[in-house]
Amino acid sequence: MSRKKSISQITRKNVETILKMEQAADESRTFGERVADGFAACVGSWTFIIIQSVLLAIWVCLNLIAWVKHWDPYPFILLNLALSFQAAYASPIIMMSQNRLGRLSERRNRLDLQINLLAEQENTEMLRLLHKICEKLEIPLKDQPTAECLEQVTRPESLLRQIEKTESQNGKSKK
Protein backbone atom coordinates (compact mmCIF):
# COMPACT_ATOMS: atom_id res chain seq x y z
CA MET A 1 0.00 0.00 0.00
CA SER A 2 1.35 3.40 -0.98
CA ARG A 3 1.99 5.95 1.76
CA LYS A 4 1.39 8.85 -0.63
CA LYS A 5 -1.90 10.64 -0.31
CA SER A 6 -3.81 11.65 -3.38
CA ILE A 7 -5.13 15.17 -3.78
CA SER A 8 -8.68 13.82 -3.58
CA GLN A 9 -7.92 12.29 -0.14
CA ILE A 10 -6.55 15.61 1.10
CA THR A 11 -9.45 17.64 -0.28
CA ARG A 12 -11.95 15.07 1.04
CA LYS A 13 -10.51 15.59 4.53
CA ASN A 14 -10.83 19.38 4.10
CA VAL A 15 -14.42 19.05 2.87
CA GLU A 16 -15.26 16.82 5.84
CA THR A 17 -13.70 19.36 8.24
CA ILE A 18 -15.75 22.19 6.74
CA LEU A 19 -18.89 20.04 6.87
CA LYS A 20 -18.30 19.32 10.57
CA MET A 21 -17.84 23.05 11.26
CA GLU A 22 -21.07 23.88 9.43
CA GLN A 23 -22.96 21.11 11.24
CA ALA A 24 -21.67 22.41 14.59
CA ALA A 25 -22.82 25.93 13.67
CA ASP A 26 -26.26 24.59 12.66
CA GLU A 27 -26.61 22.54 15.83
CA SER A 28 -25.72 25.50 18.03
CA ARG A 29 -28.57 27.63 16.65
CA THR A 30 -31.25 28.65 19.11
CA PHE A 31 -34.92 27.89 18.53
CA GLY A 32 -35.50 31.47 17.38
CA GLU A 33 -32.61 31.27 14.93
CA ARG A 34 -33.99 28.02 13.49
CA VAL A 35 -37.42 29.59 13.09
CA ALA A 36 -35.95 32.72 11.45
CA ASP A 37 -33.81 30.64 9.08
CA GLY A 38 -36.77 28.43 8.13
CA PHE A 39 -39.01 31.44 7.63
CA ALA A 40 -36.39 33.23 5.49
CA ALA A 41 -35.90 30.07 3.40
CA CYS A 42 -39.66 29.75 2.88
CA VAL A 43 -40.37 33.41 2.11
CA GLY A 44 -37.30 33.61 -0.11
CA SER A 45 -38.44 30.82 -2.42
CA TRP A 46 -40.17 30.75 -5.79
CA THR A 47 -42.82 28.47 -4.30
CA PHE A 48 -43.81 31.20 -1.84
CA ILE A 49 -43.81 33.89 -4.54
CA ILE A 50 -45.99 31.79 -6.87
CA ILE A 51 -48.45 30.77 -4.14
CA GLN A 52 -48.71 34.33 -2.85
CA SER A 53 -49.19 35.67 -6.38
CA VAL A 54 -51.96 33.15 -7.08
CA LEU A 55 -53.70 33.98 -3.79
CA LEU A 56 -53.47 37.72 -4.46
CA ALA A 57 -54.86 37.24 -7.98
CA ILE A 58 -57.74 35.16 -6.62
CA TRP A 59 -58.45 37.77 -3.93
CA VAL A 60 -58.53 40.60 -6.46
CA CYS A 61 -60.62 38.64 -8.99
CA LEU A 62 -63.19 37.51 -6.41
CA ASN A 63 -63.58 41.09 -5.23
CA LEU A 64 -63.83 42.54 -8.72
CA ILE A 65 -66.14 39.93 -10.29
CA ALA A 66 -68.32 39.63 -7.18
CA TRP A 67 -69.22 35.98 -7.52
CA VAL A 68 -69.22 36.09 -3.79
CA LYS A 69 -69.92 38.97 -1.48
CA HIS A 70 -67.41 41.83 -1.78
CA TRP A 71 -65.48 41.59 1.47
CA ASP A 72 -62.71 43.90 0.25
CA PRO A 73 -63.85 46.20 -2.55
CA TYR A 74 -61.42 48.23 -4.63
CA PRO A 75 -58.89 49.73 -3.59
CA PHE A 76 -58.49 46.55 -1.52
CA ILE A 77 -57.84 48.13 1.86
CA LEU A 78 -58.05 44.80 3.70
CA LEU A 79 -55.56 43.23 1.26
CA ASN A 80 -53.18 46.16 1.78
CA LEU A 81 -53.54 45.75 5.54
CA ALA A 82 -52.80 42.02 5.31
CA LEU A 83 -49.75 42.60 3.12
CA SER A 84 -48.49 45.37 5.41
CA PHE A 85 -48.94 43.08 8.39
CA GLN A 86 -47.02 40.33 6.58
CA ALA A 87 -44.20 42.73 5.68
CA ALA A 88 -44.04 44.12 9.22
CA TYR A 89 -43.29 40.65 10.57
CA ALA A 90 -41.37 39.19 7.64
CA SER A 91 -38.74 41.93 7.44
CA PRO A 92 -37.39 41.65 11.01
CA ILE A 93 -37.49 37.85 10.93
CA ILE A 94 -35.52 37.79 7.67
CA MET A 95 -33.10 40.35 9.15
CA MET A 96 -32.53 38.08 12.16
CA SER A 97 -31.59 35.24 9.81
CA GLN A 98 -29.35 37.53 7.75
CA ASN A 99 -27.65 38.85 10.91
CA ARG A 100 -26.90 35.30 12.04
CA LEU A 101 -25.50 34.44 8.63
CA GLY A 102 -23.45 37.67 8.72
CA ARG A 103 -21.98 36.70 12.10
CA LEU A 104 -21.16 33.24 10.76
CA SER A 105 -19.54 34.78 7.68
CA GLU A 106 -17.51 37.18 9.84
CA ARG A 107 -16.36 34.25 11.96
CA ARG A 108 -15.24 32.40 8.81
CA ASN A 109 -13.44 35.53 7.60
CA ARG A 110 -11.52 35.74 10.89
CA LEU A 111 -10.62 32.06 10.59
CA ASP A 112 -9.44 32.62 7.00
CA LEU A 113 -7.35 35.57 8.13
CA GLN A 114 -5.74 33.55 10.93
CA ILE A 115 -4.92 30.70 8.55
CA ASN A 116 -3.57 33.11 5.92
CA LEU A 117 -1.36 34.84 8.49
CA LEU A 118 -0.05 31.49 9.69
CA ALA A 119 0.61 30.40 6.09
CA GLU A 120 2.44 33.70 5.44
CA GLN A 121 4.63 33.14 8.49
CA GLU A 122 5.35 29.57 7.42
CA ASN A 123 6.20 30.66 3.87
CA THR A 124 8.51 33.40 5.12
CA GLU A 125 10.34 30.92 7.32
CA MET A 126 10.61 28.40 4.48
CA LEU A 127 12.04 31.07 2.17
CA ARG A 128 14.56 32.06 4.83
CA LEU A 129 15.60 28.43 5.29
CA LEU A 130 15.81 27.83 1.53
CA HIS A 131 17.97 30.93 1.19
CA LYS A 132 20.31 29.57 3.89
CA ILE A 133 20.46 26.21 2.10
CA CYS A 134 21.29 27.98 -1.18
CA GLU A 135 24.04 29.94 0.57
CA LYS A 136 25.42 26.78 2.18
CA LEU A 137 25.42 24.91 -1.13
CA GLU A 138 26.74 28.00 -2.92
CA ILE A 139 23.79 28.14 -5.31
CA PRO A 140 23.47 31.64 -6.75
CA LEU A 141 20.06 33.30 -6.60
CA LYS A 142 18.86 35.10 -9.71
CA ASP A 143 17.17 37.98 -7.96
CA GLN A 144 18.91 38.37 -4.61
CA PRO A 145 17.16 41.62 -3.51
CA THR A 146 13.70 40.17 -4.19
CA ALA A 147 14.52 36.98 -2.30
CA GLU A 148 15.71 39.00 0.68
CA CYS A 149 12.57 41.15 0.62
CA LEU A 150 10.34 38.08 0.61
CA GLU A 151 12.17 36.69 3.64
CA GLN A 152 11.10 39.67 5.74
CA VAL A 153 8.23 39.22 8.16
CA THR A 154 4.95 40.48 6.72
CA ARG A 155 3.18 42.91 9.03
CA PRO A 156 -0.58 42.92 8.34
CA GLU A 157 -1.06 46.34 9.97
CA SER A 158 1.52 47.86 7.60
CA LEU A 159 -0.20 46.27 4.62
CA LEU A 160 -3.55 47.62 5.79
CA ARG A 161 -2.12 51.15 6.05
CA GLN A 162 -0.59 50.77 2.59
CA ILE A 163 -3.93 49.63 1.15
CA GLU A 164 -5.81 52.49 2.82
CA LYS A 165 -3.24 55.04 1.61
CA THR A 166 -3.39 53.73 -1.95
CA GLU A 167 -7.19 53.67 -1.91
CA SER A 168 -7.39 57.23 -0.60
CA GLN A 169 -4.89 58.46 -3.22
CA ASN A 170 -6.80 56.70 -6.01
CA GLY A 171 -10.09 58.02 -4.63
CA LYS A 172 -8.74 61.60 -4.67
CA SER A 173 -7.44 61.29 -8.20
CA LYS A 174 -10.84 60.01 -9.46
CA LYS A 175 -12.71 63.02 -8.10
Q: What is the pLDDT of residue 170?
A: 85
pLDDT at 149 over 80: no
Q: What is the pLDDT of residue 1?
A: 47
Q: What is the pLDDT of residue 172?
A: 63
SS3 per-residue string spanning the chain: CCCCCCHHHHHHHHHHHHHHHHHHHHHCCCHHHHHHHHHHHHHCCHHHHHHHHHHHHHHHHHHHHCCCCCCCCCCCHHHHHHHHHHHHHHHHHHHHHHHHHHHHHHHHHHHHHHHHHHHHHHHHHHHHHHHHHHHHCCCCCCCHHHHHHHCCCCCHHHHHHHHHHHHHHHHHHHC
Specify the higher pLDDT residue, 53 or 158: 53
Q: What's the pLDDT band for 142 if we cut at 50, 70, 90? A: confident
- Among 1-5, 11-15, 25-29, 159-163, which is the least confidently predicted range? 1-5
pLDDT at 159 over 70: yes
Q: What is the pLDDT of residue 32?
A: 92
